[in-house]
Amino acid sequence: MDLDDDSSPALAFEKDAFELTVEDVYDISYVVGRDLLRISRAGEEELRMERDNLKSQLDRMLTERMQVAGANQMVVDLSDPNRPRFTMHELKEVLQERNHLKAQLMLAQEELQLYKSKILPLSQEPMVEVDQKHNNGGAGKADEEKTTIGKLFSFRRK
């Protein structure tokens, strides 16, 4: 094995392709691998720095948005399909109205069963009184939207 000027791995790049030995090919692959490793490490560092910068910008923007919105306000992303659409008060009103209507329905169903079984005659006054504010007989659009559910879903009629 010759230990002259040919011992440096970088000198293998200067040789003609037909003069390369197996050791020269190994030297070339060593140099290329070393350079690739150095490049990839530098790229990872740059990516980490960029990621950290973006995270800090995001945190700063969120902090600014929270300061603008105030302590008692909530920031809502309008593109989020799972965002809240109603206030808690509106939701409570809707649930109360639903429960009221459900109770009326159950009473009406019981009364219907009594009529079907002929326990109650048809000429008797109904046992269930229908709330006129929920059943306005088509009196008009303004009366119809008085219920909470009607208010919340009025956008569908427009």
The reported pLDDT for the residue numbered 129 is 60
pLDDT tens across 49-90, in order?
A: 899 999 999 988 888 777 666 666 777 778 888 888 888 899
Domain coordinates of the chain in residue numbers? 5-69, 88-156
Tokens 């427009």, residue located: 158
The first and second tokens of residue 147, run together, are 């219920």
pLDDT digits (tens, 9 = 90+) for 110-149: 888 888 887 767 665 655 565 545 544 444 544 545 676 6
- Locate 154 and state its tokens: 């009025």
* Residue whose token pair is 């005659």: 121
How confident is the model at residue 69, as a pLDDT?
A: 63
Other beta carbons within 10 Å of 27:
21
Q: How far apart are CA 54 and CA 64, in angstroms?
A: 15
Strand, coil or helix: what is 140?
coil
Q: Specify the CATH class of 5-69 in words.
A: mainly alpha
Q: Is the pLDDT of residue 3 over 50?
A: no
* pTM, 2 dp: 0.35
Secondary structure of residue 16 in the 3-state scheme: coil
